[in-house]
């Protein structure tokens, strides 16, 4: 299963004993099992997310002018929640706004958008027939001519897992990479060597040789203002921010054994039955990092190329619970309530890792338990899947690259 983008986080308390669930449910990001009831017959014909929840500016829009209106609207039914976050100068901040009395529209408190910012919209709504749906969109605003900015992961003051990689994505092509690389410093306390690696001309990642030590404070200094990143194109930002590394949690998914072993600070917390990718839609092997955490999200196979011969989506699930993104290409680890006979037994998903859950998401299910004890930046490693190793630039997959090769990706020689 492959799905699309965004950011969130959740921390939880440690569990002392080894827990094992003998659950029975399968799936992944809308990944249906062979022989189960077709999704359409369970949900009816679910409307497309853009028909239920309409967001302006459009998803994926770039160079949006600051006077464009930001609106979230449903033609019928009601909006349950709307969360809008602005990322600017390597810092995230909520965008205040309100839902109208009739529940149909959300609009921000201020009409003008910020320049050189990325906006993320997460909305949940119920349509006129009572069907719950979720939509996640992003857009970026206009950057003044001849300027470039870097969008940084993670955000300021975050508490993250030990596998977090500092990733800077630029809004323009960088041709003078050495100059830009020198203008970004990533340091740690306690001190550890941190090295950069370029992925193409638009992304620069930083990591140490091994996972961060718990308790490490990492500082990122962007000194891009007036640095020439390409002929006649100069940086805009001059900003310092930091984040803290929390406890260590690394989870090992064995696709052949249909289990996930969760380790916290080296001790086994639980062994959980899972389902991974089916033989024709296998799950990537390798180390993946939790990039975002969503209480509920919609997953539609058509958005990532899973279509039937008639062109319709292979799956469309409007309320996937406890969803944690692992790759840019759409691999998730998430809760599943619609395929009851696969956990610990067989792999049936479209490439994701599925944990047993209930409709709406339960706190006492394996998926709810794991979600409540996870952080953005935690590591999930998949082994024994009949697929290739995830690419280092697919999400925060840089841990799959050896240290020598990683260091060779620097533009500063």
pLDDT in tens, 340-360: 788 999 999 989 999 999 998
Residue 11: inside a domain: no
Closest CA to 166 of 200, 216, 204, 136: 204
Domain end marker among 222, 246, 270: 246
pLDDT-derived band of residue 232, with 50, 70 and 90 as boundaries? Answer: confident
* Domain at 89, CATH number: 2.60.40.3780
Outline where 241-380 has alpha helix (H). 366-372
Please state, as a whole number, how many other Cβ atoms lie within 10 Å of the Cβ of residue 189: 11
- The answer to whether residue 312 scores a pLDDT higher than 60 is yes
Active site residue 322: no
Please check whether residues 239 and 365 belong to one and the same domain: no
Q: Are residues 359 and 375 in the same domain?
A: yes
DSSP string, 157-203: T-EE-TT--EEEEESS--S-HHHHHHTEEEEEES---EEEEEETTTE
- Residue 134 within a domain: yes
Q: How far, in whole angstroms, is CA 215 from its chain's centroid? A: 23
Supply the range of the domain harboring residue 66: 51-140
Residues 151 and 236 in one domain: yes
Q: Among 246, 261, 280, give the residue marking a domain's end.
A: 246
CB 251 within 8 A of CB 271: no
For the ranges 174-183, 220-229, 295-304, which has the lowest average pLDDT? Answer: 295-304
Integer Rg of the chain from CA = 21
Q: What is the pLDDT of residue 44?
A: 56
Residues 94, 182: one domain? no
Which pLDDT belongs to residue 17? 31
Least confident range of 40-54, 194-208, 384-398: 40-54
Q: What pLDDT does residue 180 have? A: 98
Distance CA 5, CA 27 (A): 19
**Nearest-angstrom CA–CA distance, 141 and 48:** 26
Query: Is residue 97 in a domain?
Result: yes
Look-up of token digits 């290409």:
329
Indicate the residue among 246, 268, 284 that finishes a domain.
Answer: 246
Q: Are residues 180 and 136 in the same domain?
A: no
Please write the tens of the pLDDT for every residue from 175-191.
999 999 999 999 999 99
Rounded Cα distance between 133 and 45, Å, is 13
206/317 same-domain check: no
Q: Same domain for 298 and 352?
A: yes
The answer to whether residue 164 sits within a structural domain is yes
One domain for residues 375 and 265: yes
387 contacts 327 by C-beta, under 8 angstroms: no
Domain check: are 66 and 34 in the same one?
Answer: no
**Same domain flag for 347 and 291:** yes
pLDDT (tens digit per residue) in 36-94? 334 444 445 678 888 899 999 999 999 999 889 999 999 999 999 999 999 987 789 99
List 3, 142, 197, 334, catalytic entry: 334
Task: Examine residue 7 and state whether it is found in any structural domain, yes or no.
Answer: no
The secondary structure element, H or E, covering residue 134 is strand 132-140
CA dist 130 → 61, 83, 204, 317, 318 (Å): 30, 21, 44, 15, 12
Examine residue 191 and state whether it is found in any structural domain, yes or no.
Answer: yes
- Is 352 catalytic? The answer is yes
386: CATH: 2.40.440.10
Q: Angle at the Cα of 322 (from 315 to 60), degrees rounded to 5?
A: 65
Q: What is the mean pLDDT of residues 278-304?
A: 88
Sheet holding 249-254, edge to edge: 19-20, 267-273, 259-264, 249-254, 379-383, 286-289
Q: Is residue 268 part of a domain?
A: yes
Q: What is the pLDDT of residue 58?
A: 96
Q: In angstroms, rounded to a whole number, what is the distance separating the alpha carbons of residues 135 and 112?
A: 23
Helix, strand, coil % in the chain, rounded to nearest 5:
10, 40, 50
Q: How far is it, in rounded angstroms, from Cα 250 to Cα 163?
A: 8
pLDDT bucket at 392, cuts 50 / 70 / 90 = very high
Q: Are 134 and 234 within one domain?
A: no
Q: What percent of the chain has pLDDT over 70?
A: 85
Q: How many domains are contained in the chain? A: 3
Does the N-terminal peptide bond of residue 226 adopt cis geometry, omega within 30 degrees of 0?
no
Does residue 407 lie in a domain region? no
Q: The domain spanning residue 198 has which CATH number?
A: 2.60.40.3710
Same domain? For 381 and 254 the reply is yes
């Amino acid at each position: 299963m492959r799905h699309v983008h965004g950011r969130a986080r959740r921390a939880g308390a440690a569990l002392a004993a080894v827990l094992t669930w003998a659950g029975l449910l399968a799936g992944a990001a809308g990944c249906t099992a062979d022989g189960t009831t077709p999704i359409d017959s369970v949900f009816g014909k679910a409307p497309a997310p853009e028909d239920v929840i309409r967001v302006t500016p459009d998803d994926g829009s770039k160079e949006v002018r600051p006077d464009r209106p930001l609106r979230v609207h449903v033609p019928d039914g009601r909006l349950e929640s709307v969360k809008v976050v602005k990322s600017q100068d390597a810092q995230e901040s909520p965008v205040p706004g309100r839902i109208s009395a009739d529940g149909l529209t959300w609009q921000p408190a201020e009409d003008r958008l910020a320049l050189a910012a990325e906006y993320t919209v997460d909305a949940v709504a119920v349509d006129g027939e009572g069907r719950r749906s979720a939509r996640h969109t992003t857009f970026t605003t206009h950057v003044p001519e001849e300027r470039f900015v870097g969008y940084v992961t993670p955000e300021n003051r975050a508490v993250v897992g030990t596998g977090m990689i500092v990733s800077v994505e630029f809004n323009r092509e960088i041709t003078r990479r050495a100059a830009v690389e020198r203008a970004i410093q990533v340091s740690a306390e306690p001190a550890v060597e941190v090295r950069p690696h370029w992925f193409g001309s638009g992304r620069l990642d930083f990591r140490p040789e091994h996972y961060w030590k718990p308790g490490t404070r990492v500082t990122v200094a962007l000194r891009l203002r007036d640095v020439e990143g390409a002929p006649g194109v100069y940086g805009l930002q001059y900003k310092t921010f930091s984040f803290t590394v929390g406890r260590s949690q690394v989870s090992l998914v064995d696709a052949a054994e249909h289990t996930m072993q969760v380790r916290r600070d080296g001790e086994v917390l639980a062994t959980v039955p899972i389902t991974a990718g089916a033989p024709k839609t296998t799950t990537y092997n390798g180390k993946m990092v939790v990039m975002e955490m969503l209480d509920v999200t919609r997953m539609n196979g058509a958005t990532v190329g899973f279509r039937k011969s008639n062109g319709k989506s292979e799956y469309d699930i409007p309320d996937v619970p406890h969803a944690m993104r692992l790759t840019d290409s759409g691999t998730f680890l998430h809760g599943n309530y619609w395929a009851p006979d696969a956990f610990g037994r067989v792999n049936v998903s479209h490439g994701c890792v599925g944990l047993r859950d209930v409709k709406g998401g339960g706190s006492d299910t394996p998926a709810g338990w794991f979600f409540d004890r996870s952080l953005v930046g935690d590591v999930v490693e998949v082994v024994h899947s009949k697929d290739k190793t995830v690419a280092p630039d697919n999400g925060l997959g840089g841990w799959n690259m050896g240290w020598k090769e990683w260091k060779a990706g620097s533009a500063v020689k």
